[in-house]
Amino acid sequence: MMVNGTPKLTCSAFLRDYHPGPIRVEPLANFPVVRDLAVALDDFMEKLLRVKPWLIRTVEKPLAEGEYRQTPAQLEQFKQFSMCINCMLCYAACPVYGLAPAFVGPAAIALAYRYNLDSRDEGYRLREPVLSDAVGVWECTFVGECSVVCPKGVDPAAAIQRSKVAGAKDWFTSVLMPWGGRK
Amino acid sequence: MSAPRSERAGLYYPKLPNTWWLKNPRYFRFMIREVTSVFIAIFLVVLLVELYQLSRGPDAYAAFADRLRSPGWILFHLVALAFALYHSVTWFNLTGVVQVVRVGERQVPPALVVAGAFAAWGAVSLAILLLFLMRA
């Protein structure tokens, strides 16, 4: 919800922090309102699904071979981005999403980036068309407010800018290198 | 910007007011940074015209340089310089967020990446200044 105009997790907002001033509670900004404080989540759910935020393997390992192992250093690479709780405060803080609702948005891109960084994942090529789309990372103008309001310390703005760098590198490799840089 | 979404019946779609960037100091600073690009673009056009006049000979260049000495143009260049500095400083401050530098398995602290970017900027600026002073 919006508390005094700021996106806020109201389950962790305390009246003592606002006392004695007035408190204005509004439905989460940038989302269509169903009624009162309830907003429609369909748009976010659809976008979340579009970036395939799960582990993708080209060939699944048989169960008998055990789990996919990971070192602490490999975990550290993406851990921050896996702390997202899908609260959508970043969407409410994002003026780009408010002006251009087709934008895939901060949380979905941060989660796509989280799986792209995961050493167990092989789904980069499947997520790349969604991220490199005109309504993907390139719609972002780096206002940076998404990272400011995140209650879990995730930095979606960083995930988006780093995805831009990765996407640009990919494009240059495909244009400049023989056989599109593929081995 | 992309096409508007299809709106579902029965839902209320709030519109972002045109003054959204006045509601939060961070939004305001973002908009100022966007505006700096306009001044830098105008400065670059002036620079291109200056180069064109230079190619036309010393007289044409002297006449153009004389016109740039008017108070209006001096004021514009001062504003453009201030905006260029603001744009550059905010740009370098963001390098720590965007560029992840790793040495082996360890990540270089973002503050160090930013400091490196500023140091490189300072070194290049100094080199250009020295080149300019040596020619003068």
pLDDT, tens digit, 9 for 90 and up, residues B9-61: 899 999 999 999 999 999 999 999 999 999 999 999 999 999 999 999 999 99
Residues, chain A: 183
What the block records as the tokens of B5 is 């979404």
A6 within a domain of the structure (yes/no): no
Q: What is the pLDDT of residue B7?
A: 82
Same structural domain for residues B81 and B109? no
The reported pLDDT for the residue numbered A178 is 78
Q: How many residues make up chain B in this entry? A: 136
Q: Which residues of A touch B94 (CB under 8 A)?
A: 142, 161
Q: What residues of chain A, 60 to 79, have a C-beta less than 8 Å from chain B? A: 73
Same-domain status, B43 and B82: yes
Output the six-digit token pair for A150: 């995140």
Among chain A residues, the shortest Cα distance to B11 is held by: A34
Q: Tens digit of pLDDT per residue, chain A (183 long)?
A: 999 999 999 999 999 999 899 999 999 999 999 999 999 999 999 999 999 999 999 999 999 999 999 999 999 999 999 999 999 999 999 999 999 999 999 999 999 999 999 999 999 999 999 999 999 999 999 999 999 999 999 999 999 999 999 999 989 998 888 776 554
Q: Indicate the SS3 state at residue B57.
A: coil
Same domain, B24 and B82: yes
Same domain, B114 and B65: no
Residue A50 domain flag: yes
Could you tell me the residue range of the domain that residue B127 belongs to? 99-136
What is residue B105's three-state secondary structure?
coil
Instruction: Identify the burial level of A101 via C-beta atoms within 10 angstroms of its C-beta, where 0-12 means exposed, 13-18 middle and 19 or more buried.
Output: buried
Across the strands, what pairs with B107? B102
Q: Are A130 and A121 in contact (CB under 8 A)?
A: no
Domain membership of residue B14 (yes or no) is no
Calpha distance A46→A35 (Å, rounded): 21
Task: Enter the tokens of residue B24.
Answer: 């939060």
pLDDT score at B5: 63
Domain assignment present for residue A26? The answer is no
pLDDT of residue B61: 94
Q: Are residues B37 and B63 in the same domain?
A: yes
A101 touches chain B (CB under 8 A): yes
Are B82 and B103 within one domain? Answer: no
Which pair of structure tokens corresponds to residue B57? 């000979």
Give me the helices (H) in chain B, please. Answer: 25-55, 58-68, 71-98, 110-135
Domain coverage including residue A46: 41-181
Q: Does A135 contact chain B (CB < 8 Å)?
A: yes
Give residue A146's pLDDT. Answer: 97
> In whole angstroms, what is the distance from residue A100 CA to residue B117 CA?
33
- A145, B26: Cβ pair inside 8 Å? yes
Give the model confidence (pLDDT) of B69-92 as tens digits: 999 999 999 999 999 999 999 999
In this structure, is residue A141 part of a structural domain?
yes
Whether residue B91 lies inside any domain: the answer is no
Identify the sign of the CA torsion A157, A163, A166, A168. Answer: negative
From chain B, the residues in CB contact with A155 under 8 A are 97
* Residues B98, A135: C-beta atoms closer than 8 Å: no
CATH code: domain of residue A57: 1.10.1060.10
Q: B101: which DSSP letter?
A: -
Contacts of the segment B115-123: beta carbons below 8 A, 24+ positions apart? B117/B92, B118/B92, B121/B88, B121/B92
* Residues belonging to chain B with any Cβ–Cβ distance to chain A shorter than 8 Å: 1-5, 7-8, 10-14, 16, 20-21, 23-24, 26-27, 30, 34, 94, 97-100, 105
Q: Check which CATH number belongs to the domain holding B40 and give it.
A: 1.20.1300.10
**Average pLDDT score over chain B:** 92
- Residue B10 counted as domain residue: no
- B25/B79 same-domain check: yes
Question: Does B50 share its domain with B75?
Answer: yes
Asked whether the beta carbons of residue B2 and residue A139 sit closer than 8 angstroms, the reply is yes
Strands A25-26 and A33-35: unpaired
Amino acid at site A7: P
User: What is the complex's ipTM, to 2 decimals?
Assistant: 0.87
Q: Which residues of B touch A100 (CB under 8 A)?
A: 1-2
Same domain, B111 and B74: no
Answer yes or no: is B13 within a domain. Answer: no
Q: Considering its fold, how many domains does chain A have in total?
A: 1
Candidate from B4, B11, B105 with C-beta closest to A73? B105
Per the domain annotation, does A24 fall within a domain? no
Residue A13 lies in a domain: no
The answer to whether residue B92 sits within a structural domain is: no
Confidence grade of residue B104 (pLDDT, cut at 50, 70, 90): confident
Residue B77 sits in the same domain as residue B42: yes
Given CB atoms, is A165 within the 8 Å cutoff of chain B?
Answer: yes
What letter would DSSP give residue B12?
B
Quick one: what percent of chain B has pLDDT higher than 90? 79
DSSP character at residue A31: S
- Is 70 exceeded by the pLDDT of residue B2? no
Residue recorded with tokens 């789904």: A123
Domain count, chain B: 2
In contact, A123 and A52? CB cutoff 8 Å: yes
pLDDT at B8: 84
